[in-house]
Amino acid sequence: MYNIPAKTHRAEELIKRSQFITSIAHASNADEANTFVAAIKKEFPDASHNCWAYVAGKPGDTAKIGMSDDGEPHGTAGKPMLNVLLHSDIGEIVAVVTRYFGGTKLGPGGLVKAYSGSVKNALEGISVFQKRQMTQWQISFAYPHINAIKLLIESYEGELLEEKYQENILMTVEVPEASSEDFIQTITDLCSGDINIAELR
């Protein structure tokens, strides 16, 4: 299990007359992150910059990340923001820092401190909830087992995502990763081995 943002959160601060508005939201993939960034840019079209970063996987996972300086000097906004997110112990998160320039230049070091600090400040006020890591399986079995298997899925706190009635029943199910091995063994024993199982993710 790991923490993800429970809802959209916003924080504001004034740094040397420049206004920094940080917006944070949940994003389970790049598309959701980019959609949120686009919405913030639309909300603040007259801003000097809308810099952003996201981690669309587990906390610290660098496989699904993105960032942009949006016109600020290279490496002074997106990367510092991303570094804060990667070390926040919160996953599936996107942050946009909107800046309205106040007339005083901050310099590269000042910008890094302002953008990373804005994200840290916003993270202190967000609410989170725990997300369980799940695995998806496709299972195919004979009709007589259907009721017992549905009860088994429920007992493992899983979810039946799809079912198709063909020569056999074809189900797509999702179960908590922590108990997936036990689930597969139990369901195999239930069907006396007469079942086809394939992991989807």
Torsion sign (Cα): 113, 119, 123, 125: positive
> Which CATH number is 2-130's, of 1.25.40.340, 3.40.50.720, 3.30.230.30, 3.40.630.10?
3.30.230.30
Contact criterion met (CB below 8 Å) for 50 and 40: yes
For 38, residues 6+ apart whose C-beta sits below 8 A from its C-beta are none
Which runs of consecutive H residues, i.e. helices, occur in the chain?
30-43, 78-86, 107-123, 146-155, 180-190
Instruction: State the Cα–Cα distance between residues 91 and 106, nearest whole angstrom.
Output: 30
Give residues with Cβ within 8 angstroms of 172, minimum separation 6. 136, 137, 138, 160, 161, 162, 163, 200
Per-residue confidence of the chain (201 residues) as pLDDT tens digits? 789 999 999 999 999 999 999 999 999 999 999 999 999 999 999 999 999 999 999 899 899 999 999 999 999 999 999 999 999 999 999 999 999 999 999 999 999 999 999 999 999 999 998 887 888 999 999 999 999 999 999 998 898 999 999 999 999 998 988 888 999 999 999 999 899 999 886
**Structurally, what CATH architecture does the domain formed by 133-199 represent?**
2-Layer Sandwich (3.30)
pLDDT computed for residue 201 by the predictor: 65
Indicate the length of the chain as a whole number: 201
- What pLDDT is stored for residue 56 in this prediction? 94
Domain locations in the chain? 2-130, 133-199
